[in-house]
Chain A
Amino acid sequence: MPLTTTRSDENGELIIRISGQFDFGLHRDFRDAYREATGVRRFVVDLADTEYMDSSALGMLLLLREHAETHSAQVELRNVSGELERILRIANFHQLFPMRN
């Protein structure tokens, strides 16, 4: 599965883990992963196994951020490194999203 969702209820986290390509093909699954979830305080996108990311992934992350804002939740990017980190930095995402390893 390119996208798996883990719910961690004790700290209100929803972890979306993406493997392989993070591109347009995932847009439906990605939205589905967070749209219906309730009581989430923090959405975590785990990019540890992500190999590639194009601009649609950035668009999806922004939409997630908008969704989180309307639900008073945070978004955090986890395990960002290498090429992905550089792409996120060019797009100034390091100023929009807290990143943690």
Chain B
Amino acid sequence: MYKEFGVKRMGKILAVDDSATMRQMVATALKETGHQVSEAADGKDALRKAQAERFDLVITDVNMPNMDGLTLIKELRGLAGYRFTPILFLTTESRADMKQQAKASGATGWLVKPFKPDQLLATVGKVLR
């Protein structure tokens, strides 16, 4: 279904969202083009998985129970091997201060939901290149 976007590099991607549907949508879109996708339900879960396995890209929601996305990025940046890993936010959150906070914490990009699969793939392709 989803066309190729010249994404030659396939990566291991961690999709973090408290909504199972959102996780599934992100995973489906990315797996379609050959990426490997793991899912995490909140920041804590994501952190645990990121420690167990190296990911090439993390796509995370902002507002989540247990640990939100902004805390997650701070924690991740402190982990060995995640200092420069691209981290994309995919969120309903449109508040400018939140976005600024994410940017200051070293986020790679800010995508406002709803996303279009093609658009997400294009962004992932750019970030992974």
A contacts B: CB pair < 8 Å: no
List residues of A whose CB falls within 8 A of some B CB.
none
List residues of B whose CB falls within 8 A of some A CB.
none
